[in-house]
Structure 1
Amino acid sequence: MKEEEFIRELQQAKQSAYSRLIEDYQQKVFSTCMSFVPNKEDAEDIAQEVFVEVFNSIQKFKGNSKLSTWIYRIAVNKCLEFIRKKNTKKRFAFMQSVFGKSMPADKSSYFTEFNHPGVLLANKEQSEILFKAIDKLPKDQKVVFTLHKIEGLSYKEIGTITEKSLSSVESLMFRAKKNLQKLLHSYYKSNYG
């Protein structure tokens, strides 16, 4: 079935098209969510939100990009939205603790599980260190690095998903690698130096 026909069936709310969409994209979306938020429960929740958004917005899909690109964009945006909300809650809890309000700080972290399907690092501790370092990158660098190195997307695909030029994607990737080298060097120097 051609993509245009598949999209048309999704827009007509055909059950068979939705089943195929879930079958074709469930693992890819979950993997992307795990790349940004390496906590299984949170990643599953975000992945469900992605499919709800796809179902609710498929009528607006114009076909200016591939369906997979559009779905990746939704997944990345949902992950970044989750991280923003989580960080806002942490800042709020921290401010309350500083000013003496009795509200427990959110001690949870999304770095609780490292069974990411796309990361085959033998040492679990190394994958945790890597994900924490990636999380410290500026947002645009984190998105580009994650989509390229963990999800295996090309710079061209990343440019389409993030709506950035190829040279911007290359530049962000270069800076992400440099920043990760510094972050990881600092970590190893302070812990093993």
Structure 2
Amino acid sequence: MVEQLLVEGLKSRQQAAFSALVDSFQHMVFSTALGIIHVQEEAEDVAQEVFMQVYESIDQFKGESKLSTWLYRITITKALDWQRRKQRKKRFAVVTSLFGINNEVLTDPPDFIHPGVLMENKERSAILFRAIDKLPENQKVAFLLIKIEDQTYQEVAEIMGASVGAVESYMHRAKQNLRKLLEDFYTNEQ
């Protein structure tokens, strides 16, 4: 009932409703974006884009899912799009530097540390997030939502627009791939 009132307030463009939306969901949106992008400032930009899109497209929300599910979908789409654009720019910078147009090659940001990770686990966390980044998108999204955002398989299925069985499959393959990636990392480190 509270969610329905919030949606009605958003659709009638009430400032209080929009403020309540941001207050209620800003941590979730930021945390999800940060899990995909790994750069705090960029995740903040994505979160801002998410809330702007919600404001602009709230009339398209039909209420067939929870508002949080809709927000997760928008956040994941925006974060993955941001990441793809960034990778294209990075590849272009490398290519242009090879041809002498630009002598400066973009480098990867320093190791990412999610704010929810305890200090003593930061090194392991950085290794894990580098491995997660190598997963195919569906596996990466499912893994982050379940393991980092603590969503259920059913909730992730709704967010991803997939069946629970598909999400279980993504998770199974993600775990297998992570096991292989991390095994390779630890084998090569010794």
TM-score tier (shorter): over 0.9
| Closer, same or farther: CA 4–47 of 1 in aligned 2, 3 Å | same
Distance 2:62 2:118 in 1: 37
| Residue matched to 1:8 | 8
Structure 2 residue runs of 5 or longer lacking an equivalent are none
Distance in 1 (CA, whole Å) between partners of 2:175 and 2:3 is: 35
Q: Corresponding residue for 1:55?
A: 55
Answer yes or no: is the 8 Å Cα contact 1:121–1:127 preserved in 2: no
- Quick one: distance in 2 between partners of 1:108 and 1:94? 12
Structure 2 Cα separation of the partners of residues 83 and 19 of structure 1: 27
User: What's the TM-score once normalised by structure 1's chain length?
Assistant: 0.92
Question: Which range is displaced more, 145-154 or 31-40?
Answer: 31-40
Cα deviation, 1:30-64, whole Å, max 9, x if unaligned, reads 11111111211111111111111111111111111
Indicate which of 149, 159, 162 corresponds to 1:161. 159
Q: TM-score normalized by structure 2?
A: 0.94
Q: Secondary structure at the match of 2:120?
A: coil
Q: Which moved more, 1:51-60 or 1:88-97?
A: 88-97
RMSD of aligned Cα (Å):
1.5
d(CA) in 1 for partners of 2:131 and 2:87? 16
- Equivalent-residue separation in structure 2 for 1:23 and 1:3 (angstroms): 13
Identity over aligned pairs, percent? 46
Match status 1:177 vs 2:175: yes
Equivalent in 149, 152, 168 of residue 151 of structure 1: 149
1:34 and 2:41 correspond: no
TM-aligned CA deviation for residue 80 of structure 1: 0.2
Q: Check whether the contact 1:32–1:151 (CA below 8 A) recurs between aligned residues.
A: yes
1:116 counterpart residue number: 115
Question: 5+ residue gaps in structure 1?
Answer: none
Query: 1-side partners of 2:172 and 2:92: how far apart?
Result: 33
Aligned residue runs from structure 1 range 63-142, under 5 A:
63-109=63-109, 111-117=110-116, 119-120=117-118, 122-142=120-140
